[in-house]
Structure 1
Amino acid sequence: MAHPTSADNRVPPGQTVTTGFPVLHHGSVPYYNDMSKWDLRIFGLVEEEVRFTYDEFMKLPRAEFRNDIHCVTTWSKLDNIWEGVAVETVMQRVKLKPEAKFVMLHAEHGWTTNLPIEDFLRPTTFFGLKHNGEILTPEHGYPVRMVVPHLYFWKSAKWLRGIEFMDKDKPGFWERNGYHMYGDPWKEQRFDFD
Protein backbone atom coordinates (compact mmCIF):
# COMPACT_ATOMS: atom_id res chain seq x y z
CA MET A 1 0.00 0.00 0.00
CA ALA A 2 1.42 3.39 -0.95
CA HIS A 3 2.20 5.73 1.92
CA PRO A 4 -0.62 8.27 2.17
CA THR A 5 0.35 11.90 1.66
CA SER A 6 -2.15 13.86 3.74
CA ALA A 7 -3.22 13.58 7.37
CA ASP A 8 -6.75 12.78 6.21
CA ASN A 9 -5.83 9.46 4.68
CA ARG A 10 -3.09 8.66 7.22
CA VAL A 11 -5.47 8.44 10.17
CA PRO A 12 -7.47 5.21 10.51
CA PRO A 13 -11.19 5.33 11.29
CA GLY A 14 -12.08 6.22 14.87
CA GLN A 15 -8.67 7.78 15.61
CA THR A 16 -7.79 11.34 16.71
CA VAL A 17 -4.37 12.88 16.05
CA THR A 18 -2.33 13.91 19.08
CA THR A 19 0.97 15.78 19.27
CA GLY A 20 1.70 14.23 22.66
CA PHE A 21 2.89 10.71 23.34
CA PRO A 22 0.39 9.21 25.80
CA VAL A 23 1.65 6.56 28.21
CA LEU A 24 -0.54 3.49 28.60
CA HIS A 25 0.43 0.12 29.99
CA HIS A 26 -0.57 -2.57 32.43
CA GLY A 27 1.39 -2.92 35.66
CA SER A 28 4.40 -1.01 36.88
CA VAL A 29 7.21 0.56 34.86
CA PRO A 30 10.51 -1.34 35.12
CA TYR A 31 13.53 0.77 36.02
CA TYR A 32 16.90 -0.85 35.40
CA ASN A 33 19.77 -0.24 37.78
CA ASP A 34 22.21 -2.75 36.31
CA MET A 35 22.14 -3.24 32.53
CA SER A 36 24.50 -6.22 32.83
CA LYS A 37 21.41 -8.16 33.97
CA TRP A 38 19.39 -7.22 30.87
CA ASP A 39 19.27 -9.58 27.91
CA LEU A 40 17.12 -10.35 24.90
CA ARG A 41 16.41 -14.03 24.24
CA ILE A 42 15.33 -15.45 20.88
CA PHE A 43 13.94 -18.93 21.32
CA GLY A 44 11.23 -21.41 20.37
CA LEU A 45 11.30 -22.76 16.82
CA VAL A 46 14.91 -21.81 16.13
CA GLU A 47 17.85 -24.09 15.40
CA GLU A 48 19.75 -22.59 18.32
CA GLU A 49 18.65 -20.12 20.98
CA VAL A 50 20.21 -16.66 20.62
CA ARG A 51 20.86 -14.28 23.50
CA PHE A 52 21.95 -10.67 23.22
CA THR A 53 23.41 -8.87 26.21
CA TYR A 54 22.64 -5.18 26.56
CA ASP A 55 26.11 -4.24 25.30
CA GLU A 56 25.83 -6.60 22.32
CA PHE A 57 22.42 -5.28 21.35
CA MET A 58 23.49 -1.64 21.65
CA LYS A 59 26.44 -2.31 19.30
CA LEU A 60 24.19 -3.58 16.49
CA PRO A 61 23.94 -1.34 13.40
CA ARG A 62 21.13 1.19 13.69
CA ALA A 63 18.84 2.85 11.17
CA GLU A 64 16.30 5.67 11.11
CA PHE A 65 12.63 4.79 10.76
CA ARG A 66 9.73 7.18 10.13
CA ASN A 67 6.14 6.21 10.76
CA ASP A 68 2.72 7.00 12.15
CA ILE A 69 1.48 5.09 15.19
CA HIS A 70 -2.08 4.28 16.20
CA CYS A 71 -3.23 3.30 19.69
CA VAL A 72 -6.29 1.15 20.27
CA THR A 73 -7.48 3.84 22.73
CA THR A 74 -8.10 6.07 19.66
CA TRP A 75 -5.04 8.35 19.48
CA SER A 76 -2.70 8.51 16.51
CA LYS A 77 0.70 10.21 16.47
CA LEU A 78 2.01 11.16 13.03
CA ASP A 79 5.53 11.73 11.72
CA ASN A 80 7.50 9.84 14.36
CA ILE A 81 11.25 9.56 13.82
CA TRP A 82 12.88 6.58 15.48
CA GLU A 83 16.37 5.23 15.79
CA GLY A 84 16.48 1.50 16.10
CA VAL A 85 17.69 -1.87 14.91
CA ALA A 86 16.07 -3.49 11.89
CA VAL A 87 14.53 -6.91 12.47
CA GLU A 88 16.59 -8.14 9.53
CA THR A 89 19.79 -7.20 11.41
CA VAL A 90 18.83 -9.29 14.44
CA MET A 91 17.56 -12.17 12.30
CA GLN A 92 20.98 -12.54 10.66
CA ARG A 93 21.93 -14.32 13.91
CA VAL A 94 18.85 -16.57 13.94
CA LYS A 95 18.12 -19.74 11.96
CA LEU A 96 14.38 -20.40 12.01
CA LYS A 97 12.84 -23.82 11.80
CA PRO A 98 10.50 -24.10 8.79
CA GLU A 99 7.42 -24.60 10.98
CA ALA A 100 7.83 -21.14 12.61
CA LYS A 101 4.70 -19.20 11.62
CA PHE A 102 4.00 -16.90 14.58
CA VAL A 103 5.89 -14.80 17.09
CA MET A 104 5.20 -14.13 20.77
CA LEU A 105 6.88 -11.01 22.10
CA HIS A 106 7.80 -11.33 25.77
CA ALA A 107 8.27 -8.24 27.91
CA GLU A 108 8.90 -7.46 31.57
CA HIS A 109 6.38 -8.61 34.21
CA GLY A 110 5.29 -11.53 32.02
CA TRP A 111 3.58 -9.26 29.48
CA THR A 112 3.18 -10.77 25.98
CA THR A 113 1.69 -10.04 22.57
CA ASN A 114 1.42 -12.17 19.43
CA LEU A 115 2.16 -11.52 15.75
CA PRO A 116 2.13 -13.52 12.53
CA ILE A 117 5.74 -14.01 11.48
CA GLU A 118 5.16 -11.99 8.27
CA ASP A 119 4.30 -8.93 10.37
CA PHE A 120 7.36 -9.37 12.58
CA LEU A 121 9.64 -9.69 9.53
CA ARG A 122 8.25 -6.66 7.65
CA PRO A 123 10.92 -4.05 6.85
CA THR A 124 8.82 -1.45 8.71
CA THR A 125 8.97 -3.43 11.98
CA PHE A 126 12.01 -2.71 14.16
CA PHE A 127 13.50 -2.57 17.64
CA GLY A 128 13.10 1.02 18.85
CA LEU A 129 15.83 2.65 20.94
CA LYS A 130 15.21 6.38 20.42
CA HIS A 131 12.10 8.39 19.60
CA ASN A 132 12.35 11.84 18.02
CA GLY A 133 16.01 12.09 18.94
CA GLU A 134 15.67 11.05 22.60
CA ILE A 135 16.51 7.73 24.24
CA LEU A 136 13.26 6.02 25.17
CA THR A 137 12.08 6.87 28.66
CA PRO A 138 11.25 4.00 31.01
CA GLU A 139 7.54 4.80 30.52
CA HIS A 140 7.90 4.32 26.75
CA GLY A 141 9.83 1.07 26.91
CA TYR A 142 13.51 1.74 27.67
CA PRO A 143 15.84 0.16 26.71
CA VAL A 144 14.17 -1.64 23.77
CA ARG A 145 10.63 -1.70 22.50
CA MET A 146 9.29 -3.47 19.46
CA VAL A 147 7.70 -1.10 16.94
CA VAL A 148 5.07 -2.60 14.64
CA PRO A 149 3.55 0.57 13.16
CA HIS A 150 1.00 -1.04 10.83
CA LEU A 151 -0.87 -2.59 13.79
CA TYR A 152 -2.40 -1.01 16.88
CA PHE A 153 0.36 0.10 19.20
CA TRP A 154 -0.24 -2.51 21.91
CA LYS A 155 1.48 -4.90 19.49
CA SER A 156 4.64 -2.75 19.87
CA ALA A 157 5.73 -4.38 23.11
CA LYS A 158 7.59 -2.14 25.57
CA TRP A 159 10.46 -3.47 27.72
CA LEU A 160 11.12 -6.31 25.28
CA ARG A 161 13.00 -9.29 26.72
CA GLY A 162 12.15 -12.24 24.48
CA ILE A 163 11.07 -13.28 21.00
CA GLU A 164 9.52 -16.72 20.78
CA PHE A 165 8.87 -18.38 17.42
CA MET A 166 5.84 -20.68 17.35
CA ASP A 167 4.01 -22.93 14.89
CA LYS A 168 0.52 -21.88 16.08
CA ASP A 169 -0.95 -18.55 17.06
CA LYS A 170 -1.60 -17.97 20.76
CA PRO A 171 -3.10 -14.92 22.45
CA GLY A 172 -0.83 -12.64 24.45
CA PHE A 173 -1.81 -10.61 27.52
CA TRP A 174 -4.26 -8.14 25.98
CA GLU A 175 -5.54 -10.68 23.49
CA ARG A 176 -6.50 -12.99 26.39
CA ASN A 177 -8.29 -10.00 27.91
CA GLY A 178 -10.55 -9.25 24.94
CA TYR A 179 -8.32 -7.45 22.43
CA HIS A 180 -8.26 -8.57 18.79
CA MET A 181 -5.77 -11.29 17.84
CA TYR A 182 -4.41 -9.20 14.94
CA GLY A 183 -5.20 -5.51 15.54
CA ASP A 184 -5.36 -3.81 12.13
CA PRO A 185 -6.21 -0.13 12.78
CA TRP A 186 -7.57 0.35 9.25
CA LYS A 187 -10.17 -2.35 9.96
CA GLU A 188 -10.74 -1.12 13.56
CA GLN A 189 -9.80 -4.55 14.91
CA ARG A 190 -9.81 -3.36 18.50
CA PHE A 191 -11.56 -6.20 20.28
CA ASP A 192 -12.12 -9.88 19.59
CA PHE A 193 -15.72 -9.28 18.51
CA ASP A 194 -14.72 -6.65 15.89
Structure 2
Amino acid sequence: MPNDQAHRVPPGQTLTSGFPVLHFGSVPYYNDMSKWDLRVFGLVEEEISISYKDFMALPRREFSNDIHCVTTWSKLDNVWEGVAVSEVMNRVKLKPEAQYVMLHAEHGWSTNLPLADFMRDTSFFGIKHNGERLTPEHGYPVRMVVPHLYFWKSAKWLRGIEFMEKDKPGFWEKNGYHMYGDPFLEQRYDFD
Protein backbone atom coordinates (compact mmCIF):
# COMPACT_ATOMS: atom_id res chain seq x y z
CA MET A 1 0.00 0.00 0.00
CA PRO A 2 1.40 3.45 -0.87
CA ASN A 3 2.57 5.46 2.15
CA ASP A 4 0.09 8.26 1.43
CA GLN A 5 -2.75 5.73 1.92
CA ALA A 6 -1.43 3.85 4.96
CA HIS A 7 -2.81 6.34 7.53
CA ARG A 8 -6.26 6.12 5.91
CA VAL A 9 -6.67 2.36 6.35
CA PRO A 10 -7.68 1.24 9.86
CA PRO A 11 -5.95 -1.69 11.58
CA GLY A 12 -7.03 -5.10 10.33
CA GLN A 13 -8.46 -3.78 7.06
CA THR A 14 -7.56 -4.74 3.46
CA LEU A 15 -8.01 -2.45 0.48
CA THR A 16 -10.45 -3.38 -2.27
CA SER A 17 -11.11 -1.71 -5.60
CA GLY A 18 -14.53 -3.36 -5.81
CA PHE A 19 -17.66 -2.54 -3.84
CA PRO A 20 -18.64 -5.75 -2.02
CA VAL A 21 -22.32 -6.38 -1.33
CA LEU A 22 -23.17 -7.55 2.18
CA HIS A 23 -26.52 -7.53 3.93
CA PHE A 24 -28.93 -9.65 5.88
CA GLY A 25 -32.16 -10.70 4.22
CA SER A 26 -33.49 -9.97 0.76
CA VAL A 27 -32.90 -6.89 -1.38
CA PRO A 28 -35.96 -4.65 -1.72
CA TYR A 29 -36.96 -3.59 -5.22
CA TYR A 30 -39.27 -0.63 -5.70
CA ASN A 31 -41.80 -0.64 -8.52
CA ASP A 32 -43.80 2.41 -7.46
CA MET A 33 -41.79 5.26 -5.94
CA SER A 34 -44.99 7.10 -4.99
CA LYS A 35 -45.19 4.59 -2.12
CA TRP A 36 -41.68 5.41 -0.82
CA ASP A 37 -41.24 8.00 1.90
CA LEU A 38 -38.79 8.92 4.63
CA ARG A 39 -40.40 9.20 8.05
CA VAL A 40 -38.80 11.47 10.68
CA PHE A 41 -40.18 10.80 14.15
CA GLY A 42 -39.48 10.28 17.84
CA LEU A 43 -38.25 13.26 19.86
CA VAL A 44 -39.33 15.89 17.32
CA GLU A 45 -41.86 18.67 17.75
CA GLU A 46 -43.77 17.37 14.75
CA GLU A 47 -43.35 14.10 12.87
CA ILE A 48 -42.81 14.51 9.13
CA SER A 49 -42.86 12.25 6.12
CA ILE A 50 -40.86 13.23 3.04
CA SER A 51 -42.07 11.77 -0.25
CA TYR A 52 -39.64 10.39 -2.82
CA LYS A 53 -40.42 13.31 -5.14
CA ASP A 54 -39.76 15.87 -2.38
CA PHE A 55 -36.62 14.08 -1.22
CA MET A 56 -35.19 14.00 -4.74
CA ALA A 57 -35.91 17.74 -5.06
CA LEU A 58 -33.68 18.56 -2.05
CA PRO A 59 -30.36 20.23 -2.87
CA ARG A 60 -27.58 17.72 -3.51
CA ARG A 61 -23.84 17.95 -3.41
CA GLU A 62 -20.75 15.83 -3.86
CA PHE A 63 -19.07 14.05 -0.94
CA SER A 64 -15.73 12.24 -1.00
CA ASN A 65 -14.69 9.69 1.58
CA ASP A 66 -13.17 6.33 2.48
CA ILE A 67 -15.41 3.53 3.72
CA HIS A 68 -14.55 0.62 6.00
CA CYS A 69 -16.57 -2.57 6.43
CA VAL A 70 -16.57 -4.58 9.65
CA THR A 71 -15.75 -7.64 7.48
CA THR A 72 -12.26 -6.08 6.99
CA TRP A 73 -12.44 -4.43 3.56
CA SER A 74 -11.80 -0.73 2.96
CA LYS A 75 -12.53 1.24 -0.20
CA LEU A 76 -10.74 4.57 -0.60
CA ASP A 77 -11.62 7.66 -2.62
CA ASN A 78 -15.36 7.16 -2.99
CA VAL A 79 -17.27 9.98 -4.65
CA TRP A 80 -20.93 10.27 -3.77
CA GLU A 81 -23.83 12.47 -4.71
CA GLY A 82 -26.20 13.00 -1.87
CA VAL A 83 -28.26 15.19 0.40
CA ALA A 84 -26.60 16.73 3.44
CA VAL A 85 -28.19 15.80 6.76
CA SER A 86 -28.71 19.52 7.38
CA GLU A 87 -31.10 19.71 4.39
CA VAL A 88 -33.47 17.26 6.06
CA MET A 89 -32.89 18.69 9.53
CA ASN A 90 -33.93 22.16 8.30
CA ARG A 91 -37.46 20.69 8.23
CA VAL A 92 -37.26 19.24 11.76
CA LYS A 93 -37.35 20.77 15.23
CA LEU A 94 -35.77 18.40 17.74
CA LYS A 95 -36.84 18.19 21.34
CA PRO A 96 -33.95 19.09 23.69
CA GLU A 97 -33.71 15.58 25.15
CA ALA A 98 -32.85 14.02 21.75
CA GLN A 99 -29.33 12.56 22.00
CA TYR A 100 -29.42 9.47 19.75
CA VAL A 101 -30.74 8.37 16.38
CA MET A 102 -32.11 5.04 15.23
CA LEU A 103 -32.01 4.61 11.47
CA HIS A 104 -34.82 2.39 10.19
CA ALA A 105 -34.60 0.54 6.89
CA GLU A 106 -36.63 -1.99 4.94
CA HIS A 107 -37.40 -5.42 6.43
CA GLY A 108 -37.19 -4.11 10.00
CA TRP A 109 -33.45 -3.47 9.80
CA SER A 110 -32.06 -0.69 12.02
CA THR A 111 -28.84 0.80 13.39
CA ASN A 112 -28.11 3.32 16.13
CA LEU A 113 -25.95 6.47 16.19
CA PRO A 114 -25.23 9.26 18.63
CA LEU A 115 -26.94 12.44 17.41
CA ALA A 116 -23.55 14.18 17.05
CA ASP A 117 -22.38 11.52 14.57
CA PHE A 118 -25.59 11.72 12.55
CA MET A 119 -25.28 15.52 12.39
CA ARG A 120 -21.59 15.59 11.29
CA ASP A 121 -20.87 17.48 8.08
CA THR A 122 -19.44 14.24 6.63
CA SER A 123 -22.68 12.27 7.17
CA PHE A 124 -25.25 12.38 4.36
CA PHE A 125 -27.99 10.58 2.48
CA GLY A 126 -26.37 8.89 -0.52
CA ILE A 127 -28.13 8.67 -3.88
CA LYS A 128 -25.22 8.05 -6.30
CA HIS A 129 -21.83 6.38 -5.88
CA ASN A 130 -18.95 7.14 -8.26
CA GLY A 131 -21.31 8.75 -10.76
CA GLU A 132 -23.88 5.95 -10.86
CA ARG A 133 -27.27 5.78 -9.15
CA LEU A 134 -27.14 3.32 -6.26
CA THR A 135 -28.15 -0.18 -7.25
CA PRO A 136 -30.78 -2.00 -5.17
CA GLU A 137 -27.98 -4.14 -3.68
CA HIS A 138 -26.20 -1.00 -2.45
CA GLY A 139 -29.25 0.72 -0.99
CA TYR A 140 -31.34 2.31 -3.75
CA PRO A 141 -33.04 4.71 -3.54
CA VAL A 142 -31.39 6.25 -0.44
CA ARG A 143 -28.79 5.02 2.00
CA MET A 144 -27.32 6.78 4.98
CA VAL A 145 -23.56 7.30 4.74
CA VAL A 146 -21.59 7.76 7.97
CA PRO A 147 -18.02 7.26 6.72
CA HIS A 148 -16.17 7.67 10.02
CA LEU A 149 -17.87 4.52 11.43
CA TYR A 150 -17.92 0.96 10.13
CA PHE A 151 -20.14 0.74 7.08
CA TRP A 152 -22.99 -1.20 8.74
CA LYS A 153 -23.86 2.15 10.36
CA SER A 154 -24.56 3.47 6.82
CA ALA A 155 -28.02 1.95 6.59
CA LYS A 156 -29.17 0.82 3.16
CA TRP A 157 -32.81 1.26 2.04
CA LEU A 158 -33.41 4.03 4.55
CA ARG A 159 -37.06 4.62 5.46
CA GLY A 160 -37.04 6.27 8.88
CA ILE A 161 -35.05 8.43 11.26
CA GLU A 162 -36.05 8.16 14.90
CA PHE A 163 -34.69 10.57 17.50
CA MET A 164 -34.25 9.14 21.00
CA GLU A 165 -33.13 10.22 24.46
CA LYS A 166 -31.21 7.02 25.24
CA ASP A 167 -29.07 4.78 23.11
CA LYS A 168 -30.44 1.37 22.19
CA PRO A 169 -29.09 -1.32 19.88
CA GLY A 170 -30.17 -1.77 16.29
CA PHE A 171 -30.24 -5.04 14.36
CA TRP A 172 -26.52 -5.87 14.23
CA GLU A 173 -25.84 -4.36 17.63
CA LYS A 174 -28.40 -6.77 19.14
CA ASN A 175 -26.47 -9.55 17.41
CA GLY A 176 -23.05 -8.77 18.90
CA TYR A 177 -21.75 -5.83 16.89
CA HIS A 178 -20.26 -2.88 18.76
CA MET A 179 -22.68 -0.12 19.80
CA TYR A 180 -20.46 2.59 18.23
CA GLY A 181 -18.20 1.02 15.58
CA ASP A 182 -15.06 3.16 15.20
CA PRO A 183 -12.89 1.39 12.59
CA PHE A 184 -9.65 2.98 13.83
CA LEU A 185 -10.31 1.56 17.31
CA GLU A 186 -11.38 -1.80 15.79
CA GLN A 187 -14.77 -1.61 17.49
CA ARG A 188 -16.17 -4.51 15.50
CA TYR A 189 -17.88 -6.71 18.05
CA ASP A 190 -19.03 -6.35 21.64
CA PHE A 191 -19.27 -9.78 23.23
CA ASP A 192 -19.34 -8.76 26.89
TM over 0.5: yes
Match of 1:151 in 2: 149
Aligned sequence identity (%): 81
Superposed, 1:119-138 pairs within 5 Å as: 119-138=117-136
RMSD: 0.9
1:52-110 CA deviation, whole Å, 9 max, x = no partner?
00000000000100000000000000000000000011100000000000000000000
Query: Any gaps of 5 or more consecutive residues in structure 1?
Result: none
Superposed, 1:20-31 pairs within 5 Å as: 20-31=18-29
Match of 1:74 in 2: 72
1:43 is aligned to 2:38: no
CA–CA distance in 1 between the matches of 2:87 and 2:40? 13
Letter of the 1:37 counterpart: K
Query: Any gaps of 5 or more consecutive residues in structure 2?
Result: none
Superposed, 1:50-65 pairs within 5 Å as: 50-65=48-63
Superposed, 1:88-107 pairs within 5 Å as: 88-107=86-105
Letter of the 2:93 counterpart: K
Letter of the 2:119 counterpart: L
Number of aligned residue pairs? 190
SS in 2 for 1:61: coil
Letter of the 1:116 counterpart: P
SS in 2 for 1:168: coil
Match of 2:84 in 1: 86
Match of 1:179 in 2: 177
CA–CA distance in 2 between the matches of 1:103 and 1:12? 25
